[in-house]
């Protein structure tokens, strides 16, 4: 399916983490899930998508040639335009990809309009999610996939006492893709990188891209329905759930 008059959309696929919480020998993005490396699944959804035009893949510096040969060439992911080395934190990795996008701006006809930032650790990305995000980013300029939580959520103090119970219908768990107007997200990250030390000194951990846009640009970020299956593979039990989803077809 072709979308009429579509704006240019670039995906940033993040795979430069070390997967500590998985506690496995191999970094989780390369672990096999139903015979294919975890990273395969998100790249496959992007390759098939009518929304995404191309993709910047971020990996560890030492994994670039492995990924180029064993993932990108092997599975024929033609939308991967560049493979770049990530950094220490997730936001450092995002920034490396945004630099590529910022630098090639002007070389690409009409430029990159929207950037879809996605964790390679989320294999259940679908075309429906990409389409919903695309429709929303055109209106809101900043949107992230997520789902309303099913459990009651409590905010705890440092001693693990419950101090607050937010109204459940207003609490969402946030996923990726996180999708932004390209110049908005580039500007937000430039600001973050300039004063990231202040963030660190205050003990604030930047765990997603929406935080950067909310806090640095004061820009409202719309929540878009992802899906309850769009899970992040983080700890060993997530692999069991993922294999069950894949096995169901």
- Interface with ligand CTP (CB under 6 A): 14-21, 29, 58, 86-90, 92-93, 119-121, 232, 234
Return the H-helix or E-strand segment holding 181.
strand 172-181
Q: What is the dihedral of CA 212, 217, 219, 221, to 10 degrees?
A: -10
Q: How far is the CB of 85 from ligand CTP (least distance, A)?
A: 10
Question: What is the DSSP secondary structure assignment for residue 57, as one 8-state letter?
Answer: E
236 Cβ neighbours under 8 A, 6+ residues apart:
22, 23, 24
Q: Closer to Mg ion at the Cβ: 48 or 205?
A: 205
Q: Closer to Mg ion at the Cβ: 17 or 146?
A: 17
Q: Closer to ligand CTP at the Cβ: 20 or 194?
A: 20
Size of the site for Mg ion (CB under 5 A): 1
Q: How far is the CB of 192 from ligand CTP (least distance, A)?
A: 14
Distance CA 46, CA 77 (A): 9
Distance CA 234, CA 106 (A): 38
Q: How far is the CB of 25 from ligand CTP (least distance, A)?
A: 14
Q: How far is the CB of 31 from ligand CTP (least distance, A)?
A: 11
Q: Closer to ligand CTP at the Cβ: 88 or 110?
A: 88
Distance CA 89, CA 238 (A): 22
> Where along the sequence are the contacts to Mg ion (CB under 5 A)?
17
């Amino acid at each position: 399916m072709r979308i009429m008059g579509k704006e240019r959309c670039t995906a940033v696929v993040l795979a430069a983490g070390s997967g500590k919480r998985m506690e496995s020998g191999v970094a989780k993005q390369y672990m096999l899930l139903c015979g294919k490396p975890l990273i395969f699944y998100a790249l496959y959804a992007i390759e098939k998508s009518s929304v995404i035009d191309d993709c910047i893949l971020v990996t560890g510096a030492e994994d670039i040639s492995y990924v180029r040969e064993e993932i990108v060439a092997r599975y024929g992911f033609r939308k991967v335009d560049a493979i770049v080395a990530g950094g220490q934190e997730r936001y450092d990795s995002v920034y490396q990809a945004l630099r590529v996008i910022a630098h090639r701006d002007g070389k690409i006809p009409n430029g990159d309009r929207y950037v879809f930032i996605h964790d390679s650790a989320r294999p259940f990305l679908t075309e429906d999610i990409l389409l919903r995000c695309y429709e929303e980013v055109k209106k809101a300029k900043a949107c992230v996939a997520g789902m309303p939580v099913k459990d009651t959520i409590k905010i705890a103090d440092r001693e693990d006492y419950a101090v607050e119970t937010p109204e459940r219908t207003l609490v969402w768990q946030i996923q990726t893709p996180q999708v932004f107007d390209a110049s908005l997200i580039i500007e937000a990250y430039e600001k973050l990188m300039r004063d990231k030390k202040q963030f660190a000194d205050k003990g604030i951990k930047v765990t997603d891209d929406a935080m950067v846009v909310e806090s640095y640009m004061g820009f409202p970020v719309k929540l878009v329905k992802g899906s309850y299956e769009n899970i992040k593979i983080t700890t060993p039990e997530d692999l069991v759930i993922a294999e069950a989803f894949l096995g169901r077809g």
